[in-house]
Amino acid sequence: MSASQASLLLQKQLRDLCKAPVDGFSAGLVDDTNVFEWRVTIIGPPDTLYDGGFFCAIMSFPSDYPQRPPTVRFTSEMWHPNVYPDGRVCISILHPPGDDPNGYEQSSERWMPVHTVESIVLSIISMLSSPNDESPANVEAAKEWREKRDEFRRKVGRCVRKSQEML
């Protein structure tokens, strides 16, 4: 798929999201001249530690999207086992297609061209609801999630309050 085909696909996904918004997040372009950079605001899922938060992230799409996955990086402070300290989101569907060189994931769990902005963001919302501490991106957060849940809760609460102040 060429960059222009990727661009057309992303424009269509943006139009679809504008016509039929999905509960839990909003999405738009960072800059109207670049359809490959999106700003996403995820509303902390109800009944989770992230409830009440408004977390901003940038989705950067490769020129050969949807053959390869975008990268997603929170720009809001985020404390979560599956988010690197620099904000990058680590979930299976954002890993390149094919077999996992480390053997943790099946190829069916990894990136597939059928994924859309909507399915990616819904996967991130699901990740917020139920962290995977088996293969953490943030080892400290995973350790706290397992061993010091109160401390983990406090740090997430700080992130939620900070995200509310940024609005």
Supply the residues annotated as catalytic. Answer: 90
Measured in Å, how far apart are the chain's first and last C-alpha atoms? 38
- CA Rg value for the chain: 16
Angle, CA 62 vertex, CA 70 and CA 122 arms, to 5°: 20
CA gap 55, 44 in Å, rounded? 7
- Give the span between the Cα atoms of 107 and 104, in whole angstroms: 10
Residue 115: CB partners within 8 Å, gap ≥ 6?
66, 69, 93
Q: Which amino acid makes up residue 75?
A: T
* DSSP three-state, residue 104: coil
